[in-house]
Chains A and B, each alone.
Chain A
Amino acid sequence: MTTTLPVAAAFHHEYIPATPPPADIRPSPVTWALKNLFSSPFSCLLTVCFTGLAVWLVSQFLSFALINAVWRGDSEVCRANPDGACWSFIGAKLNYLQYGAYPATERWRVDLTQVIGAILIAWLLWRNAPRRNTAALLFFGVYPIAGFALLRGVEAIGLPVIDTTLWGGMMITLLMSVVGIVFSLPLGVVLALGRRSGLPIVRAVCVFYIEVVRGVPFITVLFMANFMMPLFVPEALTPDRLLRPMIGTALFSAAYMAEIVRAGLQAIPKGQYEGAQALGVGYFTMMRLIILPQALTIVIPGIVSTFIGLFKDTTLVAIVGIADFLRAVEAARIDPNWAGPTISSTGYLFAAIIYWFFCFGMSRYSQSVERHLARGHKS
């Protein structure tokens, strides 16, 4: 019974090493430019015009943000210089932009929470890291509770309680985004599976939820989370004022996430389901090990798009009185002590750079994940 089955191995599938093309057909920079930039009089004109425009814009930006900017000095220096950004203003307000009204003596708690969070996220996202299961358990199980306890404070262990009304700035934005991202993806997956389920009630509930939430503006969801949730839930159980918009954000993004995940599920050929079923693999194992890994890989661009949208949408929580990062910039900018011609521009430019930095990071990471996943099974 251990005999080898005879197979007509007539063909050897060996890889022939690639040889580079001869040097004379490899494009040189000059031929490349001639072909792509100066192929006709019209494209010459376009190239010249847009190069000029780009140089002008970049030089304007650099002169405002770097060359003429005030790096050191107080508001007097900034007021005297209407041509450049006032970075010393950002320096002076940096603590406020980061922590809001969180008491200065207790800010180490925010730093500690963020450092632990960053380490855990890096551990999770670094593909070759050892024991990523432990990281997942810590991040999804232990960290939310420990992090909240550390930020909020526990009298019993000598950490004074800091009311959430004092929280603000970047810590709120990061908190909102991380909670939104962490909860919206699994919830979206569940909704997507429910929408494609064969069970009519489950499907109807999921379709109803997705269509209702997607049909309502995010601000409405925030208002409802903020003002209506206390009406439905007994007072003792009413979630914290900071928690309410978080729940709203996660539930709102989950509906969009569900539709993106559903797109991925629909792209998986029926044969994959049948291959698993024929082996006797049950529904949940099949979804977890065979269908979802492939479906989620396909829709990584859409998922990350939703994450980026969620990150920027957290600015809207300002409308229910939460002092997020953008709100902190706004409050800092109108400080009369720093009144000056470039203070507002500097504040908004700084906010834009920070938001861009986070979103671009997410985008780059997702591209590297896509490349990594595409490598194994290209057919």
Chain B
Amino acid sequence: MSNKSKLSPVISPENDRETAVELHGLNKWYGAFHVLKDLSLSVRSGERVVVCGPSGSGKSTMIRCINRLEEHQRGRIVVNGAELTADLRNIDIIRGNAGMVFQHFNLFPHLTVLENCTLAPIWVKKMRKREAESVAREYLRRVRIEDKAGSYPGQLSGGQQQRAAIARALCMNPKVMLFDEPTSALDPEMVKEVLDTMKSLAAEGMTMLCVTHEMGFAREVADRVVFMDRGEIVEAATPAGFFTNPRSERAQQFLRQILK
């Protein structure tokens, strides 16, 4: 296929050792409520980081700050060398480099799966329609819903919708993928198909920052587990270290509750 060369690899060799996402002293308030307190975190290219913690701990807010769905008030965010400032061009560059998968998929219901996948490549990257479609079909094939390309999101199961959403994000050829509780809205029997898709993505070397409650996934896939509570990063460790020997009292309590 001639378009194969245009599908650039998920991770290119030259930025292998670069830092993909860097947070420096990140602070955010909702009114008087201090949601994120002095977060610092650095994710290397190719690294898989799972963020966990009790609800309300600021995990989603942190990941949503990285592509400016939420605005932080203090601190620095650098994604693939571009710093997130009020400069709209930098925001666009960062959004192009960071694909996001949402808890509720956020597919566009009035467009087919294929149109969902080609909209941003055509209108943001100015790709030709036919080229965008062949790229989209390739990614839909990889998440195994190529036969649903012509369907509307409402005609798909939850698991299929989430896989379509992953394909849609991949179509922009992102350097890092942000997952915001991707399996929390799914029926139990559909969680596995989405997690399997994410595992394969990890196996291909994609940089991933993933907020999830799926501890099995964290144990199997993550290079590092980051534990957050009350807006702070309490602990960051390898999965083996975190699950067998959590240092902080709060992490121990959290693990007791969810692994019970």
Q: CA A344 – CA B73 in complex, angstroms? A: 73
- The interface centre, meaning the residue of B67, B123, B152 with most chain A CB atoms within 10 A of its CB, is B123
Residue B18 at the chain A interface, CB threshold 8 Å: no
**A10, B154: Cβ atoms under 8 Å?**
no
Q: Which of B7, B109, B201 makes the CB contact (< 8 A) with A379?
A: B109
**A2, B138: Cβ atoms under 8 Å?**
yes
With A5-B201, A277-B95, A278-B100 already in contact, the answer to whether A13 and B157 are too (CB < 8 A) is: yes
Q: CA A377 – CA B7 in complex, angstroms? A: 30
Residue B153 at the chain A interface, CB threshold 8 Å: yes
Q: CA A1 – CA B141 in complex, angstroms? A: 12
Q: CA A1 – CA B123 in complex, angstroms? A: 26
Q: CA A373 – CA B152 in complex, angstroms? A: 12
Contacts of B106 in A (CB 8 A): 271-272, 274-275, 278
**A9, B193: Cβ atoms under 8 Å?**
yes
Residue A293 at the chain B interface, CB threshold 8 Å: yes
With A275-B102, A377-B152, A378-B154 already in contact, the answer to whether A7 and B144 are too (CB < 8 A) is: yes
State which residues 290-334 of A face B: CB under 8 Å: 290, 293-294, 297
Q: CA A294 – CA B189 in complex, angstroms? A: 31
Contacts of A101 in B (CB 8 A): none
**A7, B143: Cβ atoms under 8 Å?**
yes
Contacts of B120 in A (CB 8 A): 279-281
Question: What's the nearest-Cβ distance from chain A to residue B187, in Å?
Answer: 10
In chain B, what residue has the closest Cβ to A297? B110
Residue A3 at the chain B interface, CB threshold 8 Å: yes
Question: What's the nearest-Cβ distance from chain A to residue B180, in Å?
Answer: 10
**A290, B104: Cβ atoms under 8 Å?**
no
**B110, A11: Cβ atoms under 8 Å?**
no
**Binary flags per residue of B103-121, CB closer than 8 Å to A gives 1, else 0:** 0111111100000000110
**Binary flags per residue of A1-37, CB closer than 8 Å to B gives 1, else 0:** 1111111111101000000000000000000000000
With A4-B144, A7-B144, A7-B197 already in contact, the answer to whether A279 and B154 are too (CB < 8 A) is: no
Residue B48 at the chain A interface, CB threshold 8 Å: no
Question: What's the nearest-Cβ distance from chain B to residue A265, in Å?
Answer: 15
Question: What's the nearest-Cβ distance from chain B to residue A338, in Å?
Answer: 55
Residue B163 at the chain A interface, CB threshold 8 Å: yes
Q: Is the interface of A mostly helix, strand, loop or mixed?
A: loop
The number of residue pairs between A and B whose CB atoms lie closer than 8 Å in the complex comes to 108
Residue B168 at the chain A interface, CB threshold 8 Å: yes
With A8-B196, A278-B95, A279-B120 already in contact, the answer to whether A379 and B100 are too (CB < 8 A) is: no
Residue B129 at the chain A interface, CB threshold 8 Å: no
Residue B9 at the chain A interface, CB threshold 8 Å: yes
Residue B172 at the chain A interface, CB threshold 8 Å: yes
Question: What's the nearest-Cβ distance from chain A to residue B9, in Å?
Answer: 6
**B144, A5: Cβ atoms under 8 Å?**
yes
The interface size bin for chain A is 20 to 34
Residue B35 at the chain A interface, CB threshold 8 Å: no
**B95, A377: Cβ atoms under 8 Å?**
no
Interface residues on chain B, number (Cβ under 8 Å): 48
**Binary flags per residue of B151-194, CB closer than 8 Å to A gives 1, else 0:** 01111010010010000110010000000000000000100110
Q: Which of A1, A8, A271, A280 makes the CB contact (< 8 A) with B7?
A: A1
**B204, A1: Cβ atoms under 8 Å?**
yes
Contacts of A294 in B (CB 8 A): 108-110
Question: What's the nearest-Cβ distance from chain A to residue B125, in Å?
Answer: 9
**B189, A10: Cβ atoms under 8 Å?**
yes
In chain B, what residue has the closest Cβ to A13? B157
In chain A, what residue has the closest Cβ to B64? A274
In chain A, what residue has the closest Cβ to B195? A8
In chain A, what residue has the closest Cβ to B204? A1
Residue B142 at the chain A interface, CB threshold 8 Å: yes
Contacts of B99 in A (CB 8 A): 278
Question: What's the nearest-Cβ distance from chain A to residue B58, in Å?
Answer: 17
Question: What's the nearest-Cβ distance from chain A to residue B94, in Å?
Answer: 8
**A6, B152: Cβ atoms under 8 Å?**
no
Question: What's the nearest-Cβ distance from chain A to residue B81, in Å?
Answer: 17
Q: CA A4 – CA B193 in complex, angstroms? A: 13
Q: CA A78 – CA B138 in complex, angstroms? A: 77
With A7-B196, A9-B144, A378-B154 already in contact, the answer to whether A280 and B96 are too (CB < 8 A) is: yes
Question: What's the nearest-Cβ distance from chain B to residue A118, in Å?
Answer: 29
**B141, A4: Cβ atoms under 8 Å?**
yes
**B69, A278: Cβ atoms under 8 Å?**
yes
Residue B236 at the chain A interface, CB threshold 8 Å: no
**A377, B143: Cβ atoms under 8 Å?**
no
**B124, A11: Cβ atoms under 8 Å?**
no
**A7, B119: Cβ atoms under 8 Å?**
no
Contacts of B9 in A (CB 8 A): 1
**B102, A4: Cβ atoms under 8 Å?**
no
Q: Which of B124, B144, B154 makes the CB contact (< 8 A) with A280?
A: B124
Enumerate the 8 nearest inter-chain pairs by beta-carbon distance, A residue then B residue, closest first: A275-B106, A379-B154, A280-B95, A279-B120, A5-B200, A278-B100, A271-B106, A377-B152
Can you give 5 A-B contacts (C-beta < 8 A)? A13-B160, A277-B68, A280-B172, A281-B124, A379-B109
Q: Which residues of A contact B (CB under 8 A)?
A: 1-11, 13, 271-272, 274-282, 285, 289-290, 293-294, 297, 373, 376-379
